[in-house]
Amino acid sequence: MKKSRVETAETRRKIVEVATRAFRTNGIHATGVAEIMSAAGMTHGGFYRHFASKDQLVAEACAAGMEAIVESAEAAAEGGEEAFLKHIQTFLSDETRDDCLAGCPLVAMGSELARADLETRRAASQGFRELIDVIARQGGASDTASATGDAMFTLSAIIGAVTMSRIVDDPELSDLILDETRKRLTALGVEPRETSLG
């Protein structure tokens, strides 16, 4: 019996969801289509009924991951300045560092995304722009260009800090990277001075 459009869309969504987790955990190149389909409870052959290639799946998984992180940032922003600053602090925490499934695809897969195809890089770029917009709206800059520049710096610092804190082999250095980034963003007025994550 032929699947309905709703069932087909749900199956595709499930594959993308499983792929997003697998790519964050193991990396894009180390994760095969057969592994993703098995984790989704499907056969390898069924993959090509939904996607033309692994690259197409990577692009959709990246887009889904970026959409989720943007929605999370927007929800925090809607909660007011304190909620948004807490959201940033949480991102710069050791809990986020230690949980590869949490957080931003740009952190989890950044180096691989840089070498990905155009559609995947476009999805990552779109999510990055949307995050900059969310952060810029929270900033205190008097003009749009300054707010955008501040937001771009903040987001780049956060992504770089969490990425490097995951890479280094020294736990003390890893903690220091996160701590120094929090302190310096605090000094720039990005976080409330009285709050610190240990």
In-domain check, residue 151: yes
120 CB contacts (<8 Å, ≥6 apart)? 55, 58, 59, 62, 113
User: Is residue 35 situated within a structural domain?
Assistant: no
- Return the pLDDT at 198: 29
Residue 194 or 113, more confident: 113
Of 108-112, 167-171, 188-192, the range with the lowest mean pLDDT is 188-192
Average pLDDT of 148-156?
93
In-domain check, residue 17: no
User: Does some domain include residue 194?
Assistant: no
Note whether residue 22 is domain-resident. Answer: no
Domain that holds residue 60: 53-187
pLDDT confidence band for 195 (50 / 70 / 90): very low
Number of domains in the chain: 1
Choose between 15 and 139: higher pLDDT.
Answer: 15
Confidence of residue 192 (pLDDT cuts 50, 70, 90): very low
Q: Is residue 21 part of a domain?
A: no
Residues 55/119, Cβ–Cβ less than 8 Å:
yes
Do the domain assignments include residue 3? Answer: no
Residue 31 lies in a domain: no
- The yes-or-no verdict on residue 154 having pLDDT over 60 is yes
Supply the pLDDT for residue 33.
Answer: 96
Q: Can you tell me the distance from the alpha carbon of 81 to that of 139, in angstroms, rounded to the nearest whole number?
A: 9
- CATH number, domain at 103? 1.10.357.10
